[in-house]
Amino acid sequence: MEREIQHKLLINSLRSLGIRQSVLDAMMRVPRHLFVPEDVIASAYTDTPLPIGHGQTISAPHMVAIMCDRLDLRVGQKVLEIGTGSGYNAAIMAELVGKEGHIYSIERIQQLADLAKKNIEAAGYENVTIIRDDGSGGSLDHAPYDRINVTSAAPSIPNPLIQQLSNGGIMTIPVGNFTQRLYIVRKELDGSVHKEAEGEVVFVPLIGKYGFQEHE
């Protein structure tokens, strides 16, 4: 089947999850095959995570869709992503915040940060900055952030990330070890913080100062 048809079928299949239209449109505009390695390119438009090297994965499209939906991204927002991986999720968020917004995405593995930069450039996004670092404690450089998206599982919600979230901000973060749940963290305008756990998810671990230690 042609790539374009596979892409349409994939995005249509996400409708049943109740994903907002702006996210589906953004996912239709980002060619996932530009973000996966050559040896798995035939599976670019299947709803599964795929290996991207260094023991890491590009998340399944339905997971990217759910996180972007819960983040309720708006044009002009400043977003921090922790775990760039292939750069695919960053590209979807870049579509949603538009040229007026910006995505700062941190990746701890140098080769993946380099790969993501190449992918993001090939896809033509100029509103994404990729930083090679341990992002488990966020980044003070551009804080506070309107939205924070953590794409690897933390043992608990790192305090610095809550501090770096704007009042009125939203963070999505998978939390847990053997079983993980996706948390939606809302910081209200008065600074109070509400945490809500959604269903079970499976993510690679967040490794770093506020995550798991490398040997765990």
Residues annotated as part of the active site:
59
- Interface pattern 190-209 for ligand SAM (x via CB under 6 A): -------------xx-xxx-
By CB neighbour count within 10 A (0-12 exposed, 13-18 middle, 19+ buried), where does 199 fall?
exposed
For residues 58 and 78, what is the distance between their CA atoms, to the nearest angstrom? 22
Total residues contacting ligand SAM by CB under 6 A comes to 26
For residues 164 and 46, what is the distance between their CA atoms, to the nearest angstrom? 35
Whose Cβ is closer to ligand SAM: residue 171's or residue 207's?
Answer: 207
Task: Show Cβ contacts of residue 121 under 8 Å, excluding neighbours closer than 6 positions.
Answer: none
Q: At what angle do helices 88-97 and 61-71 cross, to 10 degrees?
A: 30
| C-beta of residue 190 within 8 angstroms of C-beta of residue 176 | no
| Nearest distance, CB of residue 192 and ligand SAM, angstroms | 27
Residue in 24, 34, 58, 96 binding ligand SAM, rule: CB under 6 A: 58
Reply yes or no: is the peptide bond before residue 155 cis, omega within 30 of 0: no
| Nearest distance, CB of residue 191 and ligand SAM, angstroms | 26
Please, which of residues 64-93 interact with ligand SAM by CB under 6 A? Answer: 82-83, 85-86, 88-89
| Nearest distance, CB of residue 131 and ligand SAM, angstroms | 9
Q: Examine residue 180 and tell whether it contacts ligand SAM (CB under 6 A).
A: no
Q: Examine residue 56 and tell whether it contacts ligand SAM (CB under 6 A).
A: yes
Q: Examine residue 135 and tell whether it contacts ligand SAM (CB under 6 A).
A: yes
Residue in 69, 95, 107, 146 binding ligand SAM, rule: CB under 6 A: 107
Pick from 137, 139, 142, 134: which is nearest to 156 by CA? 137
Length of the chain: 216
Per CB under 6 A, residues contacting ligand SAM are: 56-59, 82-83, 85-86, 88-89, 106-109, 112, 134-136, 151-152, 203-204, 206-208, 211
